[in-house]
Chain A
Amino acid sequence: MALSREEVLHLADIYHIYLSDDEVELMREQLGSILEQFQVLSELETDDVAPTSHSVPLTTVMREDEPRPSYSRDQVLANAPDSFGQYFQVRTVLED
């Protein structure tokens, strides 16, 4: 049940990741065989079962919105691959 080349390229496109032709071929086969393993779940009747996203029964943990010290701009930019003055710098976003 290999995926089609188009399906793999579509997923890569959604995620914004580039895959080489060899990687696309490998993904077609490997994702297909992994997805086949998931078919077993269809044996279980789950229409009336609520989903569990999370095993601790905690909901909407909130705290007071109090001002606290934060990191300096220099600290925050220290790990940035590219910065310009006080800003993160990126390549062109919109082309003309």
Chain B
Amino acid sequence: MEPFDLTIHEARALLDTRQLSSAELTEAVLRRIAAVEPQVGAFVTVTEDVAREAAATADRSIAEGTATPLTGIPMQIKDVMSTRGIRTTCSSRILENFVPLYNATVVERLYERGPVLMGKGNMDEFAMGSSTENSAFHVTHNPWGLDRVPGGSSGGSAAAVAAGEAFFSLGSDTGGSIRQPASLCGITGIKPTYGLVSRFGLVAFASSLDQIGPLTRDVEDCATVLNAIAGHDPRDSTSIPGGRPDYTAALTGDIRGMRLGIPREYFGDGIDAPVDAAVQRAIGVLRDAGAEVEECSLPLTSYALAVYYIIAPSECSTNLARYDGVKYGYSVDDASTAWETQERTRSRGFGAEVKRRIMLGTYALSAGYYDAYYLKALKVRTLIRREFEEAFQRFDALITPTSPTVAFRIGEKTDDPVAMYKSDVLTIPVNIAGIPCISVPCGFSEGMPIGMQVMGPALGEEAVLRIAHVYQQATDWHRQRPEGLGV
């Protein structure tokens, strides 16, 4: 295995025993980026100079004995999180040249632990999309099949980790944007409990749903990165107060007696047969490891999609009102009044999907429709939350597929927004309820990866990670790497 294909914990062992320096590792990843990026397109910006400098600093820390688990490890960050002095575009024309004055809290927390920033990840514009085809700059290709999408919106993050262009990436997940691309690219990704990780410096899309989390090559790495980024932050008023456990300590390898629910609404109709079958086999692996498995029902599942596509566009329409062409970002120069500046700046600065959601949200919030759409959605949200709470009185975790299909072909769904929205049907309920959920690879169909979700109750990250880790100890799907890239 090439150095760029290792996990964080494998690379750590080589770094700590001086078999490899961070400078060497970073150069290997830079060469890999140069080789595969023309095919994959996972980055908006590659930060070569920043990376080399960080690697040199990391090698000094290692020599001085002050290394952390992430010191010297090449990483990528989705281009929706602010990085001081490094442009942060959200893959949008409107922020194409925006250079933040400050780091997001997660970026600050990572920098303190010494990983090496390779660059910023491509994404659907403002994280709105399920395929990364909505990037204003370029399409990202799935490393397992270059004519397929990597999923979205954190498609650049998932593709970079799968293609050996970064050991981990941070993504954001509003309706599945970490888990669905992780599933489609054959890697591991967790959406933590809403409020576990600070969102200060995350460019807002739908504030009651957005949450940052890691995309990695296995569960152990996922716990390591989560340890680094989780924590209370007074600068985020939705941040959960108090301390955070050591998530790596949760990986005990023992799930005997844990109760797993299999909600039948996530299987069967609308789910591709090979996906259904792979997840059923994975459930068998967990049963063999000593878990108690029982079928259950979450009858409100099918309503979550409608709830999401009312709440998320409503919040997006208010959040994106800040792009007025005055304080920062793109601005037209051919307008004669302030209002005209705003209208034309938004018209030319936003892409089609962002406009669609802005209009949808404006409709749902407008006089005469507010009660029928937005308020109704918030009430159904309460019902969905309760349904999960009741399920978690009986079960420690729920197991489902992540995506109803493997990665679809580039261009297949771009003309049909409703079909595109439906690809999020299995990931959205978790965001509505604010609970944690991990996706891990559990098989292949048509040569493309399949993913399984493990959902837990609020602040149940430890159980979720433990179960996913036991699964990876018994299987090797997460050790597969795409072949033939960069030749």
Q: Give chain A's interface residues, CB within 8 Å of chain B.
A: 8, 11-12, 14-20, 23, 26-27, 30-31, 33-35, 37-38, 40-42, 44, 46, 49-56, 58, 61, 63, 71, 75-76, 78-82, 88, 90-93, 95
Q: Give Cα distance in the complex from A37 to B302, angstroms.
A: 11
Given known A16-B343, A90-B326, contact A56–B321 (CB-CB < 8 A): no
Given A38-B306, A55-B433, A79-B98, A19:B355 Cβ within 8 A:
yes
With most chain B CB atoms within 10 A of its CB, the pick from A20, A23, A42, A52 is A52
Which of B140-148, B379-387, B390-398 lines the interface with chain A?
A: B379-387
Known contacts A50-B379, A52-B385, then 12 further A-B pairs from the complex at CB < 8 Å, ordered by chain A residue: A17-B358, A18-B343, A19-B355, A31-B360, A35-B360, A37-B421, A41-B376, A42-B376, A46-B380, A55-B435, A55-B458, A80-B327
- A95 to B335 Cα, complex, angstroms: 13
Which of these, B195, B310, B338, B378, contacts A93 with CB under 8 Å? B338
Q: A23–B339 Cα gap in the complex (Å)?
A: 20
Given A37-B305, A40-B306, A50-B379: A55 touches B434 (CB 8 Å cut-off): yes
In the complex, A15→B361 CA distance in Å? Answer: 10
Residue of A nearest to B383 (CB): A49
Tell me, yes or no, whether B248 is within 8 Å of chain A by CB.
no
Chain B: interface size category = 35 or more
Report A23 CB to chain B, min CB distance, Å. 7
Stretch from B18-26, B47-55, B232-240 forming part of the interface with A: B232-240
A61: chain B residues at CB < 8 Å are: 237-238
Task: Give Cα distance in the complex from A21 to B195, angstroms.
Answer: 42
**Nearest CB in chain A: distance from B346 CB, A:** 4
A-B contact pairs, 29 of them (CB 8 A): A12-B359, A15-B346, A15-B358, A16-B339, A16-B343, A16-B346, A18-B344, A26-B352, A31-B363, A33-B418, A37-B309, A38-B306, A38-B373, A40-B302, A49-B382, A51-B381, A55-B195, A56-B195, A58-B237, A58-B240, A61-B237, A71-B101, A75-B101, A78-B99, A78-B101, A80-B328, A81-B328, A82-B326, A93-B337
A53 to B338, Cβ gap below 8 A? no
Q: B340 within 8 Å of A by Cβ?
A: yes
Partner of B329, one of A16, A52, A81, A90: A81
Q: Which residues of B are found within 8 Å of A20, using beta-carbon distances?
A: 347
Task: Report chain B residues within 8 Å CB of A33.
Answer: 417-418
Known: A41-B307, A81-B330. A49 touches B434 (CB 8 A): no
Known: A34-B360, A79-B99. A92 touches B336 (CB 8 A): yes
By the criterion CB–CB under 8 Å, are B337 and A95 in contact? yes
B297 within 8 A of A: no
Number of A-B contacts (CB under 8 A): 162
Mostly, the A contact residues are: loop
Contacts of B381 in A (CB 8 A): 51-52
Known contacts A79-B327, A79-B328; decide if A51 and B378 are in contact (CB<8 Å): yes
Q: Is the CB of A82 within 8 A of B331?
A: yes
Q: With a 10 A CB-CB cut-off, give which of A18, A33, A50 has the most chain B CB atoms.
A: A18
Rounded to whole angstroms, the CA-CA distance of A37 and B309 in the bound complex is: 9
B422-436 contacts to A (CB < 8 Å): 432-435
Q: How far is the CB of B451 from chain A (nearest CB, A)?
A: 23
**In the complex, B356 has a CB within 8 A of chain A:** yes
B339 smallest CB distance to A (angstroms): 6
B325 contacts chain A at the CB level, 8 A cutoff: yes
Q: Is the CB of A52 within 8 A of B378?
A: yes
Check if B177 is an interface residue, CB within 8 A of chain A: no
- Distance (whole angstroms) from the CB of B419 to the closest CB of chain A: 10
Q: With A27-B356, A34-B418, A91-B336 in contact, do A51 and B306 touch (Cβ < 8 Å)?
A: no
What's the least CB distance linking B240 to chain A, in Å?
6
List residues 358-410 of chain B with CB under 8 A from any CB of chain A: 358-360, 362-363, 366, 373, 375-383, 385
